[in-house]
Amino acid sequence: METLKSAFDFSDFPRLDISIAGIIAIFLLVFPLFSHSAFAMATMIQFLMFSVYGMGWNTIGGYGGQVDLGKAQYVGIGAYTTAVLLIRWNIPFWFSMPLGVCLAMAWSFIIGYPLFRLKGHYFAIATIATSLVLMDLFSVWEFVGAARGLEISPIKYHYPDFWRLIFKKDIYYYYVILGFFFVGILYVNGFRRSRLGFQLRSIRDNEEMASSLGINVHWAKIKTYAIATAFVSVVGSFHACYIKNIEPQDTMGLDLSILIALMAMLGGAGSLWGPIIGAAVLIPLKSYLKAWLGGAAGLAGIDLVIYAVIIMLISALEPRGIWGIVEKVRRRRWQ
């Protein structure tokens, strides 16, 4: 009960933040009523998906300080579970999604146990390695379509199919992912002030100190890693139904893992709004740069060059991300 209450308790934020967040929430709710551009709609869905990815990453990476660069493997587990179950046995999304979460979490416990014996850089690289191993295995596994991947053919279903999450119009997908987005915010809001949330922040600061306060550092990290995994896997399942075409390279590749981590770090790791801000900046930037520059006159890659420059600037000048800048400005005003 107390946990539920604290999920809805935003009282420790300044009133300005809450008002802005409220306005944005209302905007997100009514956005589809005004916009008829398919491009804007697709971008918004991407933004929401990556916000939720980022929120998940933020639990272990931001609050826990464990730079995880292998989140894509869990996107893959979620996506493949949903796709395989739907294609082979016609099992709807709302059953396959929780099952995907369970599988992803189980896998996260198996590799999390050895993984968290490593620290810092070594940990980060090892997460990449595990993710690539799984991707390679999926690329040769005939049952899941090997390198060709899987395709959900929408013709078989009647639109709109709420059970299987097969829609023709993006607006339905929009509201589904928006629901996950709000649930995600509430969960992380409760998480950051829960016992585990406090323990993680203590671990991020100093592991010896944390263990002197009775915190089982290894176990706390594994638990949080599983929570982050659940977030990512849910969106992975959604991804399968939304994109309808999943390949190992797209759903489990390193690029996706990096993007998830970058999003959260750029916005501000370890803050509630950070991943959302990161996604809000990077996703539209990415799709608009691509639409404007990438498509035109053989300038493939220029969008990502600009993107990379922004990342480099942020990391060198303000390592706490965009939210770090906001807080800095705010504190200066205060004094």
Partner 1 sequence: MDILIGSLVAGVLIGMILALVALGLTIIFGVMDIVNFAHGEFLMIGMYTGLLTAQATGIDPLLTLPVAAMVGFLLGVICYYGFIKYLVRGPMVAQLLGTFGLMLFLRNLALLIFGSEDQALHRGILIGKSFDLGMGVIVPATKLAAALLSVIAFLAIWLLMNRTKTGKALTATALNARGARYMGIPTDRMNALAWGIGGASVTMAGALLVNFWSVNPFVGILFTMIAFAIVALGGFGSVPGAFFAGLVVGMIMEIPGIWDFLTYALNWDWMANVPMTSLKYTFVYLAYFIIMVLRPRGLFGWKR
Partner 2 sequence: MALLEVLNLTKTFGGLSANQDISFSVQEGELVGIIGPNGAGKTTLFNCISGFYPVSSGKVIFNGKNITALKAHETARRGLARTFQIYAASGDLTVIENVMVGCFMRTRSRSKAQAAAEEILNEFNLTGIGDVFVGELPVAVQKRVTMATALGSGPRLLLLDEVAAGLTPNEIEEIMANIRHIHSHLGIAVMLIEHVMELVMKVSDRVMVLDYGRKIADGPPRTVAKDPEVIKAYLGERFVREHQEML
Residues near partner 1 (CB under 8 A): 61, 65, 67, 69, 114-115, 117-118, 120-122, 124-126, 128-130, 132-133, 136-137, 139-140, 147, 254, 258, 261-262, 265-266, 269, 298-302, 304-305, 307-312, 314-317, 319
| 237 binds, options partner 2, partner 1, none, Cβ within 5 to 8 A by partner type | none
| 30 binds, options partner 2, partner 1, none, Cβ within 5 to 8 A by partner type | none
| 202 binds, options partner 1, partner 2, none, Cβ within 5 to 8 A by partner type | partner 2
Answer left, alpha or beta for residue 264, where phi above 0 means left and psi between -120 and 50 means alpha.
alpha
State the minimum distance, in angstroms, from the CB of residue 114 to partner 1.
4
Closest to partner 1 by CB, 35 vs 249, is 249
Among 46, 202, 233, 257, binds partner 2 (CB under 8 A): 202
- Cα 211–chain centre separation: 29
**CA–CA dist 52, 98 (Å, integer):** 16
Closest to partner 2 by CB, 142 vs 335, is 335
Which range touches partner 2 (CB under 8 A), out of 33-41, 115-123, 157-165, 202-210? 202-210
- Pseudo-torsion of CA 254, 260, 264, 266, nearest 10°? 60
**CA–CA dist 262, 265 (Å, integer):** 5
The one-letter amino acid at 47: F
**Residues within window 208-237 making contact with partner 2, judged by CB under 8 A:** 208-217
State the minimum distance, in angstroms, from the CB of residue 1 to partner 2.
10
SS3 272: coil
- 150's enclosing H/E stretch is strand 150-151
| 48 binds, options partner 2, partner 1, none, Cβ within 5 to 8 A by partner type | none
Closest to partner 1 by CB, 112 vs 190, is 112
Q: Count CA atoms closer than 13 A to 167's CA, side-chain side.
A: 15
| 214 binds, options partner 2, partner 1, none, Cβ within 5 to 8 A by partner type | partner 2
Answer left, alpha or beta for residue 146, where phi above 0 means left and psi between -120 and 50 means alpha.
left
Cβ–Cβ < 8 Å for 177, 238: yes
State the minimum distance, in angstroms, from the CB of residue 174 to partner 1.
29
Cα distances (angstroms) measured from residue 246 to each of 79, 145, 241:
7, 10, 9
State the minimum distance, in angstroms, from the CB of residue 149 to partner 1.
14
The secondary structure of 168-193 as a DSSP string is SSHHHHHHHHHHHHHHHHHHHHHHHT
State the minimum distance, in angstroms, from the CB of residue 264 to partner 1.
10
**CA–CA dist 257, 264 (Å, integer):** 11
**CA–CA dist 91, 87 (Å, integer):** 8
State the minimum distance, in angstroms, from the CB of residue 207 to partner 1.
14
DSSP classification of residue 166: B
Among 139, 194, 245, 249, binds partner 2 (CB under 8 A): 194
Q: Which residues bind partner 2 (CB under 8 A)?
A: 2, 6, 193-195, 198-199, 201-202, 204-206, 208-217
